[in-house]
Each structure stands twice: as C-alpha cells, then as structure tokens.
Amino acid sequence: MSYPPPIPYPDARPTSPPLAATPPLSADQRAQFDAIARIAHTEAALSILPEKAAVVFSRIGKRLRALGLPDAATYVALIEGPNGTQERENLISALTTNVTSFFRENHHFEHFANQILPTLERRARAGGRVRLWSAACSSGQEAYSLAMVILEQFPEAARYDLRILATDVDRQILTAARAGIYPADLAEQIAPARRKRFFNPAVGEHEIKAAPELKSLIAFNRLNLMSNWPMTGRFDAIFCRNVMIYFDQGTQKKLIDRFAGVCSPGAALYLGHSERIDPASTRDFQQVGQTTFAYQPNTEPGKSGPQQE
C-alpha cells in the first residue's frame, strides 16, 4: 500500500510551467474535505493536508459515480453514517495509490540476499522458524521479488518453516496480488533468467503469471497497520517502503515502535527512499545501509526496547 501522493511527487521533476493556484475551497467543500480527512486518519492513519483537496475530490468522484450519488455532501453523509462501514473501506482504497514494481529499490533485495538470507537459510535447514513481512504489499510485486531472491539461493525453501507474510489494507489490490497475474510489459523489470524460471504465460495473451513455487512461500492477508496485529511470532525482515512518509510524526514513531516489538534481534527493516528513522525516537534500529536498518534491542538497565502492543 502507498498513500495519496504529495503534490508534487517527492521525486518529480518539473517539465512545464507550474499550474495556477487551486481556487480556495468553499465553506461546504472544506467541511466535506475535513470529514473525509478525519475518516481517512481514523481508518488508516492517512495524514491528508488541505493542499491535497483536489486529489481527494477527484478520487471520491469515482465513488460517487459507482454509487450513483449526486454530490460529495451525500457521500460524506454515507461514510459518516451507520451504514458506511463498507464504503469507508472503499474510501481508503480510492485514496491510496498502489504504485510498485518488481525489484523496486533493488539495493534492499541485494542486502537481504547477501547479508540476511544466508543466516536464515542455515536456521531453516536446522529446523528453525523464519518469517518475513511485506508490510504494505500492494499488488504483490515486492513479495514475489523477495520469494525469487530466496528460491534462487535456497531452492528447497518451501520444504522448511520459511514463509513470507504479505499484507495490505486494500482488499481489491490483495485479490490481484493473490492471482499473481501481471501485464507482460512488467516482465521487463525482471531479469530474463528469473522471468523464465518463475513466471508462466497467463490466460491473457499479454500477461504473465507467478509460478506455483513463488506462491507457495507467500500468504496474502488484509491488515491495517494501525489496527491490532494478530501475528504472535517475530520477523527476521520487514519491508515497509514508501508508506511512512504519509503518516504524521507521531504515527511514524508508533509504527516503528510496533515493528521493534515484532522483530527478532538482528532483523532487517527496509524503508522507502524518502523515509528515515528519527534517532531520538528509538535507539533499537541502527542504520546499516541505504534506508536499511538492523534491529538491535537496547539492553541498558532501565532502557529496554519498545514492547509489542
């Protein structure tokens, strides 16, 4: 999962003169925006600033047409009402932008393959438990990329207690992730040898489909990162990339603390290219590479690491 893009995107480069300033919101529009932003924050901790109002109204316009509603005021009344539970979930889906690719920010996969996986393979072969988490998996490319890296070095991985948990708040995108079917042009993101080994032609003429051996390592489940986490074990690597930049600082700290509570000592945490961990907020994650952190719990007397909620 990723969240409503900043305006402009963090890595955008201007290619034309800037547009004229967006007209100010009317009193009614501001009230509608505030209601939508409040619900988005309550449901999924999205921090949406008024400058993004045009994006928000554009996104909910699709929901108005789908539901046959006349205007935003009627839509707000629905999501605020007792019958709005399902539509609040649809709202979050409409507001999120599922932008991902195979081997995106490939230095993370290289670090995992070279620095993390050899130890995990030895543990698994000795009968130990290994768990990895793609914490905002979107349409699945991140989780499938991780599975490819594992199977290249550890072809028998599925026979051992090694699994990838892939979660997202968006049910619709999870359906696509489980199917593992992608437009064939996305195959260009995958090295030819990997593509030949791990993907099959899909039903459509211009599609590829993840092979069963990839899917055997991954469980796709819905999870809101701000809700209760049902997982009871600890993770040896967590990929949570390009998510935290859309949370306010308090929510970011809470999430990092919660990650610390479910990490094994030495676990790797991979963040997005624009994301950082504030050293003042936690001493339990040490930066070991580009947006790459190792969980080293603080063992000083009276300064234990954060606890899982």
- Catalytic member of 163, 168, 194, 241: 168
> What string of DSSP letters covers the chain?
---PPPSS-TT----SPPPPPPPPPPHHHHHHHHHHHHHHHHHH-----GGGHHHHHHHHHHHHHHHT-SSHHHHHHHHHSTT-HHHHHHHHHHH------TTTTHHHHHHIIIIIHHHHHHHHHTT--EEEEETT-TTTHHHHHHHHHHHHH-TTGGGSSEEEEEEES-HHHHHHHHHTEEEGGGGGGS-HHHHHHHEEE-SSTTEEEE-HHHHTTEEEEE--TTS-----S-EEEEE--S-GGGS-HHHHHHHHHHHHHTEEEEEEEE--TT----TTT-SSEEEEETTEEEE----STT-PPPPP-
286 CB-near residues (< 8 Å, 6+ apart)? 293, 294, 296
Is 71 among the residues known to form the active site? no
Instruction: State the catalytic residue, choosing from 59, 131, 163, 241.
Output: 59
Annotation says 168 is catalytic: yes
φ/ψ (deg, to 5) at 54: -60, -40
**How many other C-beta atoms can be found within 10 angstroms of the C-beta atom of residue 88?**
17
What the block records as the tokens of 208 is 């590829």
The encoded tokens of residue 257 equal 């603390």
Long-range contacts, 202-205 (Cβ 8 Å, 24+): none
Residue 220, both tokens? 């796709």
Residue in this structure with the two tokens 């046959």, named with its chain if needed = 68
Report, as residue numbers or ranges, the catalytic residues.
59, 168
